[in-house]
Amino acid sequence: MTDHAAHRALIAPLRAAMYDGIGVRDALAAVLADDAVVHMCAPFGEIIGAEYFDTVYAPLTAAMPDVERRDWIVMAGADDHGNDWVGCGGHYVGLFARPFRDIPPTQRIAHMRFHEYYRIKEGKIVEIQAIWDIPELMIQAGVWPMSPSTGREFCVPGPATCDGLAAHDPSLSAGAKQHVVDMLAALVRHPREPVEAMELPQFWSDKMSWYGPAGIGTARGIDGFRQHHQIPFLNAMPDRGQADADLTFHFFGDGNYVAVTGWPNMVQTITHDGWLGIAPSGQKVTMRSLDFWRIENGKIRENWVLLDLIDIYAQIGVDVFARMRQML
């Protein structure tokens, strides 16, 4: 049996270095395989391990010289394909002093949510999948180039139970993961079947919080989730879930926490109006989503979701950064 606590411990020095802002390059070199594949969100793209610091992390520290990494979820587990993962969620926080990807600095404290998954093999990180909520910085800088969010935009919190970094009961992991898998299986029944087929009250708490990316925002409760995210999403792309057989999903659980990735883990066609202000062009798009769920009393109480929205816009021919620069 894999020691997932050891995998969490493996990346602890890297997380500590990123919190203190000291020795990050060395901490990366100690755990990242030279040929590791790093799947970063747009506009970074795919990177080979040794390039990660200079290509990704150094520009962030140039923009926020005092940047600190603040994790509020660190979980680990094995997927159904025999891969071992560590999933981290949190914020990069610091004084936004210089431009980042042409986003103008605010000279004030700024926050950028991250979801980062690390695949571990033989004591090394061999793959990273990461989405940084770069649009969140655009909002704080007052240069929002996309359509307004339907949900609430704010600094997304960590788990209400404040136990995202604690040791998790492994006896709960399999059941929590199955709950999420069953929920998603029910979710894709609609819109081909009536909305009741999703059985939302069976899987989700009445007090659920759905923490979407900047551009969609946060929704509260089942009705809020449907109104501010699900209805626009399904109206625009009613073929949701029909291509799942062609995708590979990586689910892993750790106590009451569950994570999933696919890179991509959705393939859908924008055939109708209603989502993100995108015209119904008939364009098929792939979607990268890194998700965390927290189970409480047998139901999902919190769900953190990051979609690579910049990549989705790029697939339909919209350069988000070009639009942003026109606002400067």
Q: pLDDT at residue 186 above 70? A: yes
CA end-to-end span of the chain: 54
Q: Is 60 helix (H, G, I), strand (E, B) or coil?
A: helix
Task: Report the pLDDT averaged over residues 227-231.
Answer: 94
Question: For 78-113, how does the pLDDT look when each residue is reduced to its tens digit (9 = 90+)?
Answer: 999 999 999 999 999 999 999 999 999 999 999 999
Question: Which has the closest alpha carbon to 241: 252, 230, 227, 251?
Answer: 230
Q: Kindly indicate the confidence band of residue 190, based on its pLDDT and cuts at 50, 70 and 90.
A: confident
Q: Is 126 helix (H, G, I), strand (E, B) or coil?
A: strand
Determine the residue type at 94: G
> Pairing state of beta strands 257-261 and 250-254?
antiparallel
Residue percentage of the chain with pLDDT more than 70: 100
Question: For 277-286, how does the pLDDT look when each residue is reduced to its tens digit (9 = 90+)?
Answer: 888 989 999 9
Question: For 145-184, how does the pLDDT look when each residue is reduced to its tens digit (9 = 90+)?
Answer: 999 999 999 999 999 999 999 999 999 999 999 999 999 9
Q: pLDDT at residue 244 above 90? A: no
Question: For 250-274, how does the pLDDT look when each residue is reduced to its tens digit (9 = 90+)?
Answer: 999 999 999 999 999 999 999 999 8
Tell the CATH topology of 4-141: Nuclear Transport Factor 2; Chain: A, (3.10.450)
Give the mean pLDDT of the chain.
95
Does the model's pTM come out above 0.75?
yes
The pLDDT score that the predictor gives to residue 261 is 93
- How many Cα atoms within 13 Å fall on the side-chain side of residue 171? 0
Boundaries of every domain in the chain = 4-141, 170-325
The pLDDT score that the predictor gives to residue 299 is 98
- Lookup: tokens for 179: 């709950």
Residues in the chain: 328
Q: pLDDT at residue 301 above 80? A: yes
Q: Strands, E, within the chain: which ranges?
A: 32-40, 46-48, 68-78, 84-95, 109-121, 124-132, 204-211, 218-220, 250-254, 257-261, 266-270, 283-287, 289-296, 299-307
- Measured between alpha carbons, how far is 87 from 309 in angstroms, rounded to an integer? 20
Q: Kindly indicate the confidence band of residue 243, based on its pLDDT and cuts at 50, 70 and 90.
A: confident
- Measured between alpha carbons, how far is 227 from 32 in angstroms, rounded to an integer? 42
The pLDDT score that the predictor gives to residue 193 is 87
Q: Strands, E, within 221-298: which ranges?
A: 250-254, 257-261, 266-270, 283-287, 289-296
Let me know if the fold of 4-141 is the same as that of 170-325: yes
Question: Which has the closest alpha carbon to 130: 177, 92, 179?
Answer: 92
CA angle 129, 135, 138 (to 5 degrees): 145
CATH architecture for the domain at 170-325: Roll (3.10)
Q: Kindly indicate the confidence band of residue 1, based on its pLDDT and cuts at 50, 70 and 90.
A: low
Q: What is the DSSP letter of 172?
A: G
Question: For 105-135, how does the pLDDT look when each residue is reduced to its tens digit (9 = 90+)?
Answer: 999 999 999 999 999 999 999 999 999 999 9
